[in-house]
């Protein structure tokens, strides 16, 4: 099934570079997305059980099929896309087979995907951002023309348009981090499936901790300090880089912040209904809730309120 998925994925990648209708394009992309998740898992399983010849020979053939369908114009996307799956999947399979801590294995695989995704998308960043900025400018012009016919005050209309424009351009600046996060997401799902199904009887390492004990390593704190300094004193290129690194890391700090919150909700015996109501209010707060979760995750990375480090040492 893994080999069949490789060749199916190669055909879908080749088709994705061909001119097709919008509906067909969405269907091909969606199917390729879910097969990609399965391939991360499948490649990891092949590497874990030592089927290296099958893994790399079929991976190379699948790449050739993709290249045959896409041609030279799609070579860079295919090369980096297949490298993401083959190298990240192989690393998590081999490191797991060697008994590494599963959280450390995830970080190795996630950083591998992030690097290949960054390299893959660098050539299109400027073009995509320029397109988005152009669309925003057209939207602003359209809004001014149409809102002028409504019963809005001049000041209210101007402030509303300026706020929307500022927010939209702020999101466009984070396009690189969104692209990388989009590549990390399917890998993360596949890794959780792989880790969950890992044969514990033959696994000498430490399994993935329950969600309530997820915690960002303190080692990322120096990275945050450096990019924050870049954000304050750097030029436009450094500020843009810092914004995207902060946004990327902020998602992971938010997730670990949510783990911390869930830990204390369970500790204080909140009922399921009360926890659901809390999360509804939390997510309705949108960016405020996200910031609070990220802040809590950051503080917990060195305060360690849940004593995760101590529990880890005790299990050893």
Does 188 lie in the same domain as 99? yes
Does 284 lie in the same domain as 188? no
pLDDT digits (tens, 9 = 90+) for 39-84: 999 999 999 988 999 999 999 998 888 888 877 777 888 889 899 9
**pLDDT-above-70 percentage for the chain:** 88
For the chain, give the mean pLDDT: 84
Domain assignment present for residue 27? The answer is: yes
Does 68 lie in the same domain as 15? yes
pLDDT at 116 over 90: yes
Rounded Cα distance between 93 and 116, Å, is 18
* Burial class (CB within 10 angstroms; exposed 0-12, middle 13-18, buried 19+) of 187: buried
pLDDT at 232 over 50: yes
Does 279 lie in the same domain as 199? no
Rounded to an integer, the average pLDDT of 203-217 is: 79
pLDDT digits (tens, 9 = 90+) for 237-246: 888 899 999 9
Q: What is the CA radius of gyration of the chain?
A: 23
Domain assignment present for residue 104? The answer is: yes
Question: Which pLDDT score, from 0 to 100, does residue 183 have?
Answer: 92
Query: Which of 208, 226, 255 is the C-terminal boundary of a domain?
Result: 208
Does 192 lie in the same domain as 62? yes
- How many separate domains does the chain show? 2
Does 282 lie in the same domain as 194? no
pLDDT digits (tens, 9 = 90+) for 287-312: 788 888 999 999 988 888 887 765 55
Cα 273 to chain center, whole Å?
30
Rounded Cα distance between 78 and 60, Å, is 11
Does 268 lie in the same domain as 200? no
Residue of 186 and 313 predicted with greater confidence: 186
Does 204 lie in the same domain as 81? yes
Does 11 lie in the same domain as 52? yes
Two tokens, residue 181? 């996060």
Does 261 lie in the same domain as 189? no
Q: Which of 85-89, 103-107, 202-206 has the highest mean predicted lDDT (pLDDT)?
A: 85-89
Rounded to an integer, the average pLDDT of 258-262 is: 91
Question: Which pLDDT score, from 0 to 100, does residue 316 have?
Answer: 44
The candidate with the shortest Cα–Cα distance to 47, out of 111, 114, 115, 108, is 108
Domain assignment present for residue 220? The answer is: yes
Confidence of residue 234 (pLDDT cuts 50, 70, 90): confident
Question: Which pLDDT score, from 0 to 100, does residue 200 have?
Answer: 62
CA distances from 192 to 19, 86, 151, 197, 303 (A): 35, 17, 52, 9, 26
Does 84 lie in the same domain as 38? yes
Two tokens, residue 36? 């990609």
Three-state secondary structure call for residue 129: helix
CA distances from 14 to 5, 17, 26, 72 (A): 14, 6, 14, 11
Domain assignment present for residue 159? The answer is: no
Rounded Cα distance between 285 and 266, Å, is 22
Domain, as residue range, for 282:
210-316
Does 39 lie in the same domain as 185? yes
């Amino acid at each position: 099934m893994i080999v069949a998925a490789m060749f199916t994925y190669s055909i879908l990648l080749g088709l994705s570079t061909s001119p097709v209708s919008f509906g067909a394009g969405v269907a091909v992309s969606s199917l390729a997305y879910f097969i990609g998740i399965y391939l991360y898992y499948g490649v990891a399983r092949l590497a874990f059980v030592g089927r290296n010849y099958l893994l790399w020979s079929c991976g190379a053939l699948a790449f050739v099929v993709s290249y045959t369908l896409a041609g030279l114009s799609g070579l860079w996307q295919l090369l980096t896309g297949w490298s993401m799956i083959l190298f990240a999947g192989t690393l998590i399979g081999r490191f797991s087979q060697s008994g590494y801590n599963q959280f450390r294995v995830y970080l190795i695989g996630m950083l591998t995907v992030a690097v290949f995704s960054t390299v893959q998308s660098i050539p299109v960043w400027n073009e995509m951002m320029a397109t988005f900025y152009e669309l925003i400018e057209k939207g602003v012009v359209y809004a001014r023309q149409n809102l002028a016919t409504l019963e809005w005050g001049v000041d209210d209309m101007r402030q509303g348009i300026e706020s929307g424009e500022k927010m939209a351009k702020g999101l466009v600046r984070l396009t690189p981090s969104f692209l990388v996060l989009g590549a990390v997401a399917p890998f993360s799902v596949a890794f959780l499936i792989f880790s969950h199904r890992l044969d514990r009887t033959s696994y000498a390492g430490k399994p993935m901790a329950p969600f309530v004990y997820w915690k960002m390593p303190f080692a990322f704190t120096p990275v945050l300090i450096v990019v924050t300094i870049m954000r304050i004193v750097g030029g436009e290129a450094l500020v843009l880089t810092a914004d995207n690194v902060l946004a990327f890391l902020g998602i992971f700090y938010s997730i670990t912040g949510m783990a911390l919150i869930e830990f204390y909700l369970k500790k204080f015996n909140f009922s399921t209904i009360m926890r659901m109501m809390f999360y509804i209010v939390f997510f309705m707060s949108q960016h405020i809730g996200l910031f609070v979760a990220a802040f809590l995750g950051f503080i917990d990375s060195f305060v360690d309120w849940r004593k995760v480090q101590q529990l880890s040492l005790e299990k050893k």
